[in-house]
Amino acid sequence: MKNIIKTIILTAVVLGMNSCSESNLLELSPINNISEADAFTSPSLIAASMNGVYNAAAVGQYTSTSTNGGRGYLWGAAFVEQGDCRGEDVVNTGTFYQLTYTATYDATTANNVYYWIDGYRLINRCNLMIEGVNTAVAQGIITSAVGNDYIGQAKFLRAITHFELLNFFARCYNFTPTASHLGIPYREVGINTQAEIDSEVLKPRNTVEECYTKILADLTAAENQITTTGIAKASKGAAIAFKTRVYLHKREWSNVITEGNKLKTLYSLTANPGDVFVLANNFNNTESIFSTQHTSTINPTTNGALASMYGGRRLVAISPIIWRNTSWLSDDKRRNSTALTGMVQNVSGRMYTNKYKDITTYTDGAPVIRYAEVVLNMAEASARLTTPDLGTALTLLNSVRNRSLATPATQAYTAATLSTPTAMINAILTERRIEFLMEGRRWSDIQRLEKDNLAPIAGIPAKYANVLPPAADYTLGTAYTGALTVLAIPAADTRFLWPIPQVENNTNPTLAAQQNPGW
- What gap in Å lies between CA 65 and CA 203, rounded to an integer? 33
Helices and strands (DSSP H and E) totals, the chain: 20, 8
What pLDDT does residue 17 have?
27
23 pLDDT above the threshold of 70: no
Do residues 168 and 115 lie in contact, with contact meaning Cβ atoms separated by under 8 Å?
Answer: yes
Asked whether residue 67 is assigned to any structural domain, the reply reads yes
Which residues have CB under 8 Å from 407's CB, separation 6+? none
Share of the chain above pLDDT 70, in %: 92
Q: Residue 114 sits in which domain range?
A: 2-271+497-512
Confirm whether 285 is domain-assigned. no
Ramachandran bin of 460, using left for φ above 0, alpha for ψ from -120 to 50, beta for the remaining angles: beta
| pLDDT value at residue 266 | 98
Distance CA 255, CA 242 (A): 12
CB 200 within 8 A of CB 11: yes
Neighbouring C-beta atoms of residue 470, cutoff 10 Å? 13
Q: How far apart are CA 12 and CA 18, in angstroms?
A: 13
In this prediction, residue 62 has a pLDDT band, given cuts at 50, 70 and 90, of low
- What is the spatial distance between Cα 335 and Cα 246, in angstroms, rounded to a whole number? 30
Given a contact cutoff of 8 angstroms between Cβ atoms, the answer to whether 518 and 511 are in contact is no
Q: What is the pLDDT of residues 321-373, one digit of tens each?
A: 999 999 999 999 999 998 777 999 999 999 999 999 999 999 999 999 999 99
Q: Is residue 108 part of a domain?
A: yes
Residue 71 has pLDDT above 50, yes or no: yes
Cα–Cα distance measured from residue 182 to residue 486, given in angstroms and rounded to the nearest whole number: 29
- Tell me how far apart the alpha carbons of residues 278 and 331 are, in angstroms, rounded to a whole number: 20
| % residues pLDDT > 90 (the chain) | 87
Give the amino acid at 100: T
Listed in sequence order, the residues at least 6 apart from 322 whose beta carbon sits closer than 8 Å to its beta carbon are: 88, 89, 328, 433, 434, 437
**342 located within any domain:** no
Instruction: Report the C-alpha gap between 335 and 314 in whole angstroms.
Output: 17
How far does Cα 488 stand from its chain's mean position? 23
Instruction: Transcribe 325-361 into DSSP letters.
Output: -TTS-TT-GGG---TTT-SEEEETTEEEE-S---TTT
Q: Tell me if 396 sits within 8 A of 376, measured CB to CB.
A: yes
Residue 24, pLDDT above cutoff 60:
no
Q: What is the pLDDT of residue 35?
A: 76
Residue 19 has pLDDT above 60, yes or no: no
Strands 459-460 and 489-490: antiparallel
The answer to whether residue 222 is domain-embedded is yes
Closest CA to 395 of 374, 378, 411: 378
Kindly report the CATH number assigned to the domain that includes residue 14.
Answer: 1.25.40.390
Specify the pLDDT at position 477: 95
Residue 250 CA to residue 247 CA, distance in Å, equals 5
Is the pLDDT at 151 greater than 90, yes or no? Answer: yes
pTM, two decimals, is: 0.94
Kindly tell me if the per-residue pLDDT of 13 is higher than 50: no
Would you say residue 98 lies in a domain? yes
Domains identified in the chain, total number: 1
Residue 483 counted as domain residue: no
Q: Give the 3-state secondary structure of 205-255.
A: CCEHHHHHHHHHHHHHHHHHHCCCCCCCCCCHHHHHHHHHHHHHHHCCHHH
Average pLDDT, the chain: 92
Is residue 377 situated within a structural domain? Answer: no
Determine the residue type at 443: W
